Structures are given as structure tokens and as C-alpha cells.
A and B are shown apart, each in its own frame.
Chain A
Amino acid sequence: MVILLELMAVPTILLLCAWLCKPTRILTKLSALLLWVQVAVVAIVVHPALLTNALPLVILPEITVERLDAMFAILTQVVVASSLTHAHVFFAHDDAHEPENHNKLRLFYTCATLFAIAMTSVFFCKNLGLIWISVEATTLCSAPLIYFHRNKHALEAAWKYLMICSVGIAFALLGTMFIFASSQYGAVAGGSLNLDQLTQSAPRLQYPLLRLGFLFCLLGYGTKAGIFPLHSWLPDAHSEAPAPASAMLSGGLLNCALFAIWRVSRLVTDSGHQQLVQNADLTMGVITVVAASLLLVRQHGIKRLFAYSSIENVGLMLAAIGVGSGSLFLFLAINHSAAKVALFLISGNVIQAVGTKSLHDIHGLLTVSPSWALVLLLGGFAVTGAPPFGAFAAEWQLLANISQLHLWPALVALLFALAISFLAVSVHVGRILCGTPKQMVTAFSPVYSSAIPVGLIIITLFAGLTAVHKFLW
């Protein structure tokens, strides 16, 4: 209970600030500061769970922290803090043009704070029902973020996001109910959604119902994560949301949805049917990677490009879940989140500076703003898994795991898709960097606007150079 209070203290202050602070200049600065405090708070609170894996840290009954949960929670907090710190730069530019957006900003910060709470609770909940509620809450809190610009495109993206994700999530609820039903035939008296109870009695869960439950959860949470045939909301939402929101969606939300899939997959694995998990998750993951890399080739919007790259990375993470490796999933997530947040934040600035999202009109960034160009270049390499970034080590490990399982078609498809996506992103980023620039408004201080992205790139570089995951487990 005390831990819950500690975790909720800073967000509560943030919500109060967003409610009371009329001048948004103070709000943006204050929240940046508070969010880094929150990162520290979360890190301190969950560090017992990081040090030992023996006993989970109990916050409330059914809300506990284990090592993987703790890592993901810290990652998400870092993503939110980075995005909203950078949002100060981003909205300061917006402010100059539209003085009337104080209320919009206050709503944005309120929703972002709630969004962060919902995302964190996805990682801590040990109850499938609570996980579902948290994931649905992330949808509800993030829809206003997408609708920030209040124009037609934002409206369309928000509507699609809300509708497609709600329907998807509804299927996940059905899947959750199937799993609940599967537990009531002898496994747990009266049935249960508590993951600890379910895991303990996993072999006694009724398999046909469990299988249906798993598949529906994969379908439902997969919609939220943007796996291939159900990804249509993702590029729209990422492209139309303001850059900090895109960064949070890509670096935080997708991890949450995948984490829910991870929970269910673990349960099915524990029940002795890892073949099902492997078939479903790995297949869907590989299909997503291949489709996303092909779609990456012809893109016309800078943020849509990175959105498809996110889909590709979601596919990789799903494949990592499929091979049953939590550490690999985490390592991929860390690298993707860090690099992609940096890319979205910078591309938000680029769009503000050039005044267009179209890749045809953004050229010559190298001459205009070398620091941004550097971030884009390194970030582009980092998300496509070029050495020496962390994603390279992670993808190498993933391919090694897949080859150990003798899944040669998946291996070939992944190699092919990774090559294509690397080429596609490099070519697109190359076009942005080179050429002659059209008119550019350079109202940005290069130090402020690049600080956070550069820091994130350094994180993934560090992860790659030291291959942190070797030491994590």
C-alpha cells in the first residue's frame, strides 16, 4: 500500500499541476522535471525486484513486481519522461503560432500522465482481467493525445484508433473469458484470472478453451500492438499525433500490448503447449516483419515511415515472445523504444521546421541542422538493427534462437525482411539528409532540441556495445 502511494505521488502532483497551472510554460517545464523524478521514484521502488528474482515485490494483492515487469516499467517511465521533456521544445514552437492552445496543452498533459499510469499498471498487474482493463485504459487515455491538433486528419486518425483498438481489445476480453472458463474445470475452484494461481495449475487448464483464449488474446492485443493484418490504425495514429505522443505510442504503448501477449503466452507455455505459442507468435511475428519491411519501401511521410518501422520491430518482438525468451523481448523493446522515441521526437521538429510531413519535400537536413541529421542517421541505423547498436545484438540473438529451433523458413524470411527494411530506411533517411534544402525555419536551439534524442541514441549504443542482456540474466 505504501509502495502504491509512493508510485502515485508524483503523477498525482502532475495531474494537479495540469489542472491548476494556467500558464503552460511553467507546466511544461515542471512536468519535465517531475517526470524524471518519477523515473527515479519508480527505479528506487522497484529495485528490490531487480536485484533478486526470488520473491516478487507486492504492491497490492494481484499487483506485484518481478524483474521483467520492473525493467519494462522503468523503460516506459523513461520513454514518457523523455517524450514529455522534449515536448517542452516541441510545444514551445507550437505556442509561437497558436497562443490559444493552453487548454489543449493542459488536456494533453493530463491524458499523458493518465496514459503513463495505465501503461505502468499493465506491467504490474498479475491478473488477466486487470491487464485487460489497463490496456483498454491506455486506449482511452491516448485517443485524446492523437486528437491533439483538432483537425480533420487528427480526427480521422483518432476515430480509427479508438474503433479498431476497441474492437480488437473486445476480442482480447473474450479471450480472457475463455481462459477464465478454461480454469474452472478442475484447475482452480470456481475459476480464476490470477496469473499466479493459473500458472501453478497450468497443466490442469482445459486445453481447447485455453487455446481459444490464447488465440483471441493474440488477436486482440495484437491489434493494439499493430501486428500485420490489423495494423491499419498504427501509421495513421503515429503520423497524426503530435511528436511526443507518437513517441509515447511507439515506445510505450506497443510494449504494453506485447507484454499482455507475453503474459498469455507464458501461461500457455507453462501449461505444456509451447508449440502453440511458438507456431502462433512466431508466425505472426515473421509475417508482420516481412509485410512491414515491404511496406517500408514506398512511404511518403516521414512519421509514417517510422511508424512502419515500429510495426517491423513489433514483429521482431512477437517472434522473440514466440521463441519464449523474455530477456530477448526486453532487450529488443529497450533498443526499439530508445531509438524510435529519438526518431519520432526529431522528426516532429523536422516537420515543424519544414512545414510538411512529405518525404518528397524534406531534403538537405545535413546542411541545415547537422545535429538533427546525426540523430536521424544513427536512429535509422539503430531501429533497423545495424551494428553496433543494441538492436543488432538483439536481432542476432533472435536469429540464433530461431536457427536453434530449426525453423529455416522463418529464418530466411526474417533475414530477407531485415535486409529490405535496412535498405528502405537507409535510402529514405539518406534522401532526407542529402540534397538541397527548401526553406527551413531554424527557430530551434540545436542543443535543447537534440539533447534528449542524443541521450536515447547513446542508451541504445551503449546497450549494443556492452550487450547488456548478457548481464541482465
Chain B
Amino acid sequence: MNLPLAQIPLLLIALVAILMVGSTHLRLNIWLFSAQALLVTMATALSAVQHSDSHLYIIAALLFVLKVLAVPKFFMYIIEKVEVQRDTGTVVRAPVAMLLSIAFLWLSYILARQLPVPSGDTIGWPGATAAISLLCTGLLLMLTRRIALSQIIGFLVMENGIYIFGLTQTNGMPMFIEMGILLDVLAGVMLAGLIAFRIKKNFEHIDVTMLTELKENL
């Protein structure tokens, strides 16, 4: 396969997301997320080299420190504290969800081909494909998992997709906005992690599909 170098991390990101949907081991999922974040960092760095854009280097460094190292570390810590290993999943089992996510990958390829692409850019369509499929896959992860932690990972996958979209479809968002977004998302993840802790403490489980006490009394 003679793909340009810049496209390879993008396609691998989409594949890693599919693997994440297929796996129910939380630790493996966190490792996969870390790998995905590393690929995102690589894509950013490649883009930085291509456009010789100094601010992308800073973003890449931040991504590496926060998403590749800090967030997975934090998740591992939570997993140890709440003592869960696997996510049993909801009605849609992991392999079936994996098939769905592959279908989403194909759909996003079709969609991505219809978007306008910045001129002279080789990462336009693989970027859009990866971004849209990551969005769908992240949503799928959130919908098909029970454990609070998997849902947070699903959210992060979605967020990666949006970041990839911004990276490949635009000539780079302004840096302070990019950093603000990163900060906000991380704060959200930390907060959600802390709430997951509390769920484990109060309910003795961490299965968020069982949080159904507040329903409509219709």
C-alpha cells in the first residue's frame, strides 16, 4: 500500500478505535486509548512539519503529556481503586458493536469524500474519514458500555475525532482556542472520573445503566 506518510496515522487511529469497540477489557482499552492519543500526536507533529507551524509543535507536546501519559495514568489509578476489570456491555455485544463501527468507517469514508478539501492537501479525506468514524465509534462506545469509565473513554474518542477534524480540515485553529478546548476537556474528564469514584462508593457498583432511579413516572 503506497499511502503518503501523513495518512498512515490517521487510518491507524480509526482502526484503533474499532479495536477499542471490540475489546471489553478496561486495561486494554486504556492502552489502546493511549496508543490512539500517540497516533494523534504523531499526526499533529507530521502536520506541524508539513506546514512548518510552530504552534502545532506545542499542541503536539501538550497532547503527548496530557492524553498519552496523564489521562491513561489517571484511568489506571481509578481502575485500581474501583476494582473493575471488564465491561460486560449492554444488549449490543462488543463484537457486534465492532461490526457496526466498521460499517461506520465505510459510511464516514463516503461522507468524507463529499466534503470540500483544503487545496493541495493529502490528508483531507483520510482525516475526515477518521474524524467522522471516530465520532460515531465514540458514541457507539458510550452507548454500548455499562461501566462509567468506558463511557468516559468513549467521550474521549469522540473528542479525538473532533480534534482530528480540526487538524485536517482547517489550516489549524487558533492556538489559544485549541489549548482552551484541551483544558476544558481534561477538566471534564477529571470531574467525570471523580464522579465515577463516587458512584462506586455510593452504589457499590459502577454500572451506569443501572442509574435509573430518576425516571419519569409516566
Contact = CB atoms under 8 A, between A and B. Distances in A.
Whether chain A touches chain B in the assembled complex (some CB pair under 8 Å): yes
Interface of A: 127, 129-130, 132-133, 136-137, 139-140, 143-144, 147, 151-153, 155-160, 162-163, 166-167, 170, 173-174, 177, 180-181, 184-185, 190-191, 193, 206, 208-209, 235-236, 239-240, 295, 298, 300
A281 to B, nearest CB: 23
Q: Is the interface of A mostly helix, strand, loop or mixed?
A: helix
A133 B171 CA distance: 20
Interface residues of B, number: 40
Interface in B158-182: 158-159, 162, 165-166, 169-171, 173-174, 177, 180-181
Contacts of A167: 139, 142, 155, 158
- Pick the most buried of A143, A144, A167, A239: most chain B CB atoms within 10 A of its CB: A167
Nearest to A139: B188
20 contacts: A129-B177, A130-B180, A132-B181, A136-B185, A137-B184, A143-B195, A144-B191, A153-B214, A155-B203, A159-B148, A162-B191, A163-B142, A163-B151, A167-B158, A170-B159, A174-B165, A180-B170, A185-B116, A209-B115, A298-B218
Contacts of B155: 163, 166-167, 170
A173 B169 contact: no
Given A143-B195, A298-B218, A177 B169 contact: yes
B54 interface: no
B199 A127 contact: no
Given A144-B191, A166-B188, A167-B155, 18 more contacts: A133-B184, A136-B188, A137-B184, A147-B195, A152-B202, A153-B213, A155-B195, A159-B192, A160-B214, A163-B192, A177-B170, A180-B173, A185-B116, A193-B173, A206-B116, A235-B216, A298-B217, A300-B217
A255 B51 CA distance: 40
A446 to B, nearest CB: 32
Given A167-B155, A191-B170, A300-B217, A155 B118 contact: no
A156 B166 contact: no
Given A152-B213, A167-B158, A129 B170 contact: no
Interface string B117-129: 0100000000000
Contacts of A139: 188
B184 A162 contact: no
Shortest beta-carbon contacts, A-B, top 4: A129-B177, A133-B180, A136-B184, A156-B211
Contacts of A137: 184
A148 to B, nearest CB: 13
B208 interface: yes
B170 A184 contact: yes
A173 B115 CA distance: 18
Contacts of A239: 214
A43 to B, nearest CB: 28
B191 A157 contact: no
B118 A184 contact: yes
B204 to A, nearest CB: 11
B198 interface: yes
B58 to A, nearest CB: 17
Contacts of B70: none
Contacts of B139: 167
B187 interface: yes
B174 A193 contact: yes
B206 to A, nearest CB: 11
B105 interface: no
B135 interface: yes
Given A143-B195, A193-B174, A173 B162 contact: yes
B199 A133 contact: no
B51 to A, nearest CB: 11
A300 B213 CA distance: 14
A191 B173 CA distance: 8
B181 A174 contact: no
A184 B172 CA distance: 11
A170 B192 contact: no
Contacts of A174: 135, 162, 165
